[in-house]
Structure 1
Amino acid sequence: MNEESPILSRLIFRTVQPTDIPRCYSIESASYPPDEAASKSNLQYRQHHAATYFRCAFLIDEPPASEDGNLMSVTGSIIGYICSTRCDEFTEKSLRHHDSNGRYLAIHSVAVDEKYRKMGVGSAMLKDYWEAMERWNKGIVEGSRKVPMEKIVLMAKKNLLAFYVRNGFGVTKVSDIVHGKDEWFELERKFSVQGNGKECYLVDAFIDSNKKEGTSGNPAGVVLLLGPPGLDIDQEEKKQQKMNLKMSMSNSCESLDDMNVDEPSSQNTIPVRGSEYMAAVARELNQSETAFVWPLLGELNQGGHMSNGTSLPPFLSYAIRYYTRTGVEVDLCGHATLASASVLFAQNSTDSESPNKNNITFYAKNDVLHAELLPASCPNDLSGNASKIGMSFPWKNVNPVESGKESVLDMISRAFFGARAASAAAANPDDSSVAAKFRQFFNPKDPDLAHHVLFIGTTDGEEDLFLELTEEGFDLLRGINVNHSALCEWSGYSRGVIICCSCASPPATIDTDNLLMATQQNVHVDFRSRFFGPKVGIDEDPVTGSAHCSLGPYFGAKLNKTLVLGRQESERGGIVECTLKPDERRVGLVGIATKTMSGRMSIRI
């Protein structure tokens, strides 16, 4: 068998449609002797009653390209298929009918057109079939009442036993079932997950590699789903069938641009019960944010594309949603995106055939985000879990607050000093440290003016309140027990409060080619920050990637740099590198993430 057969790169796999039965019957008749081959009516029965378990390999033709090299059409034909029905016991009688709740999935046929045998097609079909059935089996825990399958069973003749063993099956016994005149052997392959559980992880994102593992960065929950939560798995299967059918129209020459393929956003729509499920899981994990991620199957988008018709690279594109520990959904979260990317990159690293395994596209609620696995290592990565990842995020401007500054200062005074700025002269007459800091922070001659506040603004859409302080003023706020509820008083922002300052000039020489690693060795940062988000259930966030979508551009303009480095100075703290691309209105965020826990989530919708 030639594992490198070029036709494998032109295969797509999908469920069989009613109009495909004549072609499948032709392959069946040519593959088995008359006393073993299924009748056309048998194939029709299996397609009608067990369509999910009837999959085919569709070979895309090598179409002509346009003058600019773009793919013009997609045509081809079915060259093989696998069909099965479910049963509760593996007997001749049980194989005559399909039991939708059967514990076993019994394969009836693994058939390949004679022209394409010994090219790896059979193994490729079994690999796809196993993955599709695993996906279905795991997907039922998202709310469906369907019964999971325990294993796949099949019968094979002696000459094919080695083939099935190579593809993950084990021989159990000589079969008691009589099928034709030859002796048959029974084989099986058990599903790895039977019943409950979505993969979930805890990941520390934007860590400071100088600190001990588990003591820096922002912990995020990551939950891997098979599709939009709350949608029945069959609905997702039908969407994929629809897309695949359009791609496999053998009697038409449709342009890819003309094909009405569902956009990624159509797989990014969540029913109410799905939102409730994600909120419940986020509350259970109790992290500042939990990301929910599912693959966008079969999409023609940035995650992968057919450039010349000769290859079909994997589509590493995912939908992503974010929920806080209080069950509130937020549109964007940098550290949870970094955490999700690190989990997916670790999984994709085992797929040596994937040309795009180091690049991922995320479709968030309102943004398209890109992540790339970078080669640099983490100096103190004792567990081997750390990875350096670059992400592309939307640019966020900071706009000055024209009116209401007094209210902002009053809110800051209440939150940090327990007093109104307007009553500074009379407040805290004792010599406590907080009182002393209060008198230093606010101008004693004019209590409504804080001479350590250099700028008050809001980010685009009035999402975050943005305060730049002097470095001395920033340090005055350290070590104070903050009244977080007081930070909710001003209505001019919807998400969080960013407090920041620029740092003293850096040393004369810095390794700008590896700025993040240089800073991790305590060289220099351009700015320092803190982020408070009580309006979305986060008192103080350890490290906030999305806040750097505005911090990066702000300090880049202030310092006349296109590459700036920030340290978020919460109790845990972390490092974020920002590369500014004003022409593209994008901010590149680079950070290090390390996985700390993994397990399975048993909460059902």
Structure 2
Amino acid sequence: MRIRIVDAFADRPFAGNPAGVLLLDAFPGDDRLQNVALEVNHAETAFAHPLPPGGEADWALRWFTPVTEVDLCGHATLATAHVLHSTGAHRGPVRFATRSGVLVATPAEDGSITLDLPTAPLTPAALPQGAAEALGAEPLAVLDTGPHVGDLLVELADERAVHALRPDHRALGACSRQGVIATARAENPGLGYDFVSRCFFPNVGIDEDPVTGSAHTALAPYWSERLGRTRLTGLQASPRSGRVGTELRGERTLLTGRAVTVVDGELLAW
């Protein structure tokens, strides 16, 4: 079984967010998919298989962290689209059937790929007791990101506060079942990004996610309203780092990025 590791939301190897990608003939049992994702041990591993022609989608797609299946994953969707296009397995826009509905990935001539994802509905929320101490910062605002993303979005005082976060991941996971997306406005938009973020998901086996596409379906509407523009660029300020172009279109959010295949090998135990 062929397996690839792809760095998504990156234009060079060893940046962005790595994802495992396996193209299958059909999905095996969930236990097998979960075991492979645990073995790959990246934030997500994507599994896809082709669907019969004439339907609403071209490929079925699922995403697994090392410990569980998730409802929405942007970077592994980008990685899968990159593999399909770079190998010639699919031409043009590709429609994925997923837990979050049909998602479309459209390649551009410059090598970038744009994902069409559902916009996360944002509602005010209360920060769980102890979460501020576990995170290491007191938020200015807290919002719930709805069922598909399922995390808390917290705005911090400034960009430096986001960079300086050193959360207690065990304590953060104990005080909240939800992950935390920490964000702030860019201090210097002249550097090419409008807002920064970092994402912490200890309860799904990811202490800090390098670049999180799904989080940007919440960050896009939040910052578009604050900044008065529908097109923005986000910098996810993890150690690997990556930039995500966002465009808010009502109930849909477009995310644009690049991807690089860094490993192309064979999974012997399948």
| Band the TM-score falls in, shorter-chain normalisation | over 0.9
- In structure 2, relative to structure 1, the CA distance for the partners of 1:555 and 1:343 (3 Å cut) is same
Whichever residue aligns with residue 488 of structure 1, its letter is: G
Contact 2:162 2:184 (C-alpha < 8 Å) held by counterparts: no
Alpha-carbon deviation of 1:346? 1.1
How far has the Cα of 1:226 moved from its partner? 0.6
Counterparts of 1:361-380 in structure 2 under 5 Å? Answer: 361-376=95-110
- The correspondence for 2:132, drawn from 379, 388, 412, is 412
Alignment of 1:8-157 (within 5 A): none
Alpha-carbon distance in 1 for matches of 2:14, 2:209 = 14
What is the CA–CA distance in structure 1 between the aligned matches of 2:162 and 2:24, rounded to whole Å? Answer: 41
Query: What amino acid is aligned across from residue 205 of structure 1 in structure 2?
Result: A
String of CA shifts for 1:37-78, please: whole Å, max 9, x gaps.
xxxxxxxxxxxxxxxxxxxxxxxxxxxxxxxxxxxxxxxxxx
Q: C-alpha separation between the residues in 2 aligned to 1:558 and 1:415?
A: 24
- Any gaps of 5 or more consecutive residues in structure 2? none
Alpha-carbon offset, residue 216 of structure 1: 1.2
Cα contact 1:503–1:528 (8 A) shared by 2: yes
* Equivalent residue, structure 2, for 1:591: 257
Q: Which residue of structure 1 aligns with residue 55 of structure 2?
A: 301
- Superposition deviation, residue 286 in structure 1: 1.1
Q: Is the 8 A contact 1:391 1:588 kept in 2?
A: yes
Asked whether the equivalents of residues 459 and 550 of structure 1 are also in contact (C-alpha less than 8 Å), the reply is yes
Q: TM-score, normalised by structure 1?
A: 0.43
* Alpha-carbon distance, 1:388 to partner: 1.1
Residue among 552, 567, 575 paired with 2:235: 567
Q: 1:275 aligns with which of 30, 40, 48?
A: 30
- Say which of 151, 160, 180 aligns to 1:464: 151
Letter in 2 for 1:389: I
Report if aligned partners of 1:542, 1:572 keep a CA contact under 8 Å in 2: yes
Whether the aligned pair in 2 keeps the contact of 1:206 and 1:217 (CA below 8 Å) is yes
Shift of 1:414: 2.9
Give yes or no for the alignment of 1:391 onto 2:115: yes
Query: In 2, distance between residues paired with 1:367 and 1:276?
Result: 23
Q: Is the 8 A contact 2:14 2:240 kept in 1?
A: yes
Confirm whether residue 526 of structure 1 aligns to residue 260 of structure 2.
no
Aligned length: 269
Q: How far apart are the structure 2 equivalents of 1:414 and 1:487? A: 5
Equivalent position of 1:307 in the other structure = none
Q: Work out the CA distance in 1 between the residues paired with 2:59 and 2:232.
A: 29
TM-score w.r.t. length of structure 2: 0.93
Cα displacement (A) at 1:289: 0.4
Q: Given the alignment, which residue of 483, 498, 518 partners 2:168?
A: 483
Q: Equivalent residue of 2:214, what SS?
A: coil
Taking the aligned partners of 2:40 and 2:188, their CA distance within structure 1 comes to: 41
Query: Post-superposition shift, 1:481?
Result: 4.1
Instruction: Spell out, residue by residue over 1:138-184, the C-alpha distance to the aligned partner (whole angstroms, 9 max, x if none).
Output: xxxxxxxxxxxxxxxxxxxxxxxxxxxxxxxxxxxxxxxxxxxxxxx
Instruction: State the Cα distance separating 1:457 from its structure 2 match.
Output: 1.3
Partner of 2:14: 215
Whole-Å separation in 1 of the counterparts to 2:218 and 2:264: 32
* Change over 3 Å in CA distance of 1:390–1:400 after alignment to 2: same
Letter of the 1:398 partner, please give it. Answer: L
- Partner of residue 205, structure 1: 8
Equivalent position SS for 1:489: helix
Instruction: Select the structure that is richer in helix.
Output: 1
Distance 1:542 1:285 in 2: 16
Aligned in 2, Cα 1:480/1:559: closer, same or farther, shift over 3 Å?
closer
- What amino acid sits opposite 2:76 in the alignment? A
| Counterpart secondary structure, 1:482 | coil
Q: Distance in 1 between matches of 2:232 and 2:141?
A: 19
Inter-partner Cα distance in structure 2 for 1:554 and 1:477: 16
Q: Contact 2:162/2:197 (CA < 8 Å) preserved in 1?
A: no
Larger radius of gyration: 1
Q: Which residue of 2 aligns with 1:502?
A: 185
Distance 2:45 2:187 in 1: 35
Q: Distance in 1 between matches of 2:50 and 2:104?
A: 14
Using the alignment, how far apart are the partners of 1:225 and 1:395 within structure 2?
A: 29
Q: Deviations over 1:281-328 (max 9, x none)?
A: 111111110000100023x2345xxxxxxxxxxxxx1000001123x1
- Percent identity at matched positions? 36
8 A Cα contact 1:552 1:587, kept in partner: yes
Against the structure 1 CA distance between its residues 525 and 549, is the aligned structure 2 distance closer, same or farther, given a 3 Å change threshold? same
Q: Are residues 1:228 and 2:27 paired? A: yes
> Structure 1 pair 202/533, CA: closer, same or farther in 2 (3 Å)?
same
Structure 1: 4+ residue segments shifted above 4 A = none
1:528-565 per-position Cα deviation (integer Å, ceiling 9, x unaligned): 00000001110000000011111111111111111011
Distance across 2 between alignment mates of 1:292 and 1:204? 16
Instruction: Give per-residue Cα distances to partners, 1:205-252, cap 9 Å, x unaligned.
Output: 001x4xxx33310000001101122xxxxxxxxxxxxxxxxxxxxxxx
- Looking at secondary structure, tell me which structure has more strand per residue: 2
Q: Which has the higher contact order (CA 8 A, sep 6+)?
A: 2
AA in 2 matched with 1:320: L
